[in-house]
Amino acid sequence: MAKVISQDTFDGVVQENIIDFSMSPAEAREETIKQFEAQGINLANIIKDLAINAESGKPIINETIDNIKTHITEKDTDVQKILEYLTILDMECQKSLPHRVLAGKIGAQGALITLLETALSDPETLDATLIAKCLQAANSLTNKQPDLFDEQAMAVVLKLLNLKDQVDITCLTLQWLQKACVMHEINRQNIMKTNAVQLMKPMLCKDNARLVRELTAVFRFLVLDDDIRVEFGCAHEHARQIAGEVLLQLVDMLSTYNDVNVLADLLLTIGALTVRQELCTVIDEAGGLKLVLDIMTRNVDVVRLNREALKLLRAMAGHDTVKAHIVQQGAAPIIKEVLENNLSNETIVSAALACITTLTLRVKEHSTAFFETGIAEIMVEALRAHTKHKLVQRNGAWAIRNMVSRSRNQCETWLTYGTEDLLNAAMIEHPSVAQDIKAALRDLGCSVQLREEWTGTAEKKIAA
């Protein structure tokens, strides 16, 4: 078994080479690596690119955290000095995940929390610059390292969310919450157990696009289900709770903004929160459906905006009555126009075909509404433009199957566009979705070779 050493041992030898042998940091690091490798020591666990202070020989990240701790212990009042330390810590943590892990191990999180608690202890002498610098460093430290976010950090976040007229600080706090949510179900549950969502709700004001984008990102991150360490997450319940607080407000804000990025974030968030049938009805009754269709009509060429709008329409179509309203309010020609204007974009094509699939499922009248717009030819062109994209081919096959399954009178038109050859080619190109493609070919009336998945012989004959 290969021998290993600790980071402290490695850094100690580098420091010794600098101090005792007057080497430069680069020379000392190279010499240290050679020494240990010559001894057969595995350095895979060592961070070899730490910035070194040429005078002291210590890694700058270690030295900076020690300086911050000393500043706290001695209650130093030199604000400029602590701001410099925080800037260095922030820069070091941005370099790589190993740098952040090392900073976490040597107490960076605790030092930052202490600084924030001290800064927030007296509202009358609030130093916004110091708090902002602490939050920037905390964001860099917590990035892809959410385990560091603990009860103390949450308590500080709640205090920060209570601050008034501090937009920069609030946005940095919301970014910190976002990073704490990624890949960490327990953090998400702990955040939802507090009154954080209630504190954020009044911040959804209609005159601050930056704040709205950060808030909606937090709502979306709270309903993630990406932590493989837990068997069951609470994403659905979190979405229900957040929707109960802010869904109507988010829908109302769709009429307020023209900025496509803000609108896309709002649509994405509303879609993420629409996890129950009754919520589809809530959005529809609040006029959300008309707003979504109007936004798509005004912005047919904006990729991200239409992608999120199509996903939201598909989510709302989970309720049969709302699905009928979507088609009745003229979604078919709008989706056709969006698809036609973005034929080269596989993301929009895939989302549009998936939306058509859902809206035409088991409803002949919906299939007819789409077919009468002339969308069939455009859908075939979309499939032809993206033969290598498996999701496009699968979603296209689904959409075609749903459109013709109860409207066989459409089959001849589809076939005149060369649909059969396209689907047969896609079946060869993408064998993993062959069954989906065969279903479309079958409903088009084409010749399909079906494979019997299992055959067996009964031990006893079944009586007639």
Phi, psi for 386 (deg, rounded to 5): -135, 55
Q: What is the DSSP letter of 392?
A: H
Mean pLDDT of the chain: 94
For residue 97, is it within any domain? no
CA 406 to chain centre: 37
| 403 closest CA partner among 357, 438, 439 | 357
With bands split at pLDDT 50, 70 and 90, how would you rate the model's confidence at 448? confident
Distance CA 145, CA 64 (A): 20
With bands split at pLDDT 50, 70 and 90, how would you rate the model's confidence at 1? low
With bands split at pLDDT 50, 70 and 90, how would you rate the model's confidence at 452? low
Among residues 40, 58, 76, which one ends one of the domains?
A: 58
Helices (H), ranges, 194-287: 196-200, 209-222, 235-253, 260-273, 277-285
Distance CA 329, CA 308 (A): 19
Among residues 58, 77, 101, which one ends one of the domains?
A: 58
List 52's β-bridge partners, or say none: 59
For residue 54, is it within any domain? yes
Q: How many domains does the chain have?
A: 2
Lowest pLDDT segment from 48-52, 293-297, 381-385: 48-52
Phi, psi for 12 (deg, rounded to 5): -65, -40
**pLDDT of the residue at 77:** 85
CB 141 within 8 A of CB 104: yes
For residue 342, is it within any domain? yes
CB 263 within 8 A of CB 216: no
* 232-276 residue pLDDT tens: 999 999 999 999 999 999 999 999 999 999 999 999 999 999 999
Domain limits for position 421 = 327-447
* 281-339 residue pLDDT tens: 999 999 999 999 999 999 999 999 999 999 999 999 999 999 999 999 999 999 999 99
List 41's β-bridge partners, or say none: 3
Question: Does the structure show a pLDDT above 70 at 464?
Answer: no
What pTM, to 2 d.p., does this model score?
0.92
Distance CA 52, CA 50 (A): 6
* Domain harbouring 414, CATH code: 1.25.10.10
Distance CA 156, CA 176 (A): 11
Among residues 58, 85, 107, which one ends one of the domains?
A: 58
Distance of CA 207 to CAs 255, 258, 291, Å? 12, 12, 19
For residue 248, is it within any domain? no
Element holding 13 (H helix, E strand): helix 7-21
**What is the mean predicted confidence (pLDDT) over 224-237?**
94
CB 249 within 8 A of CB 204: yes
Question: Does the structure show a pLDDT above 60 at 195?
Answer: yes
**pLDDT of the residue at 454:** 65
Lowest pLDDT segment from 14-23, 148-157, 372-381: 14-23
Q: What is the DSSP letter of 22?
A: -
Question: Does the structure show a pLDDT above 60 at 153?
Answer: yes
- Cβ count within 10 A of residue 195: 12
For residue 53, is it within any domain? yes
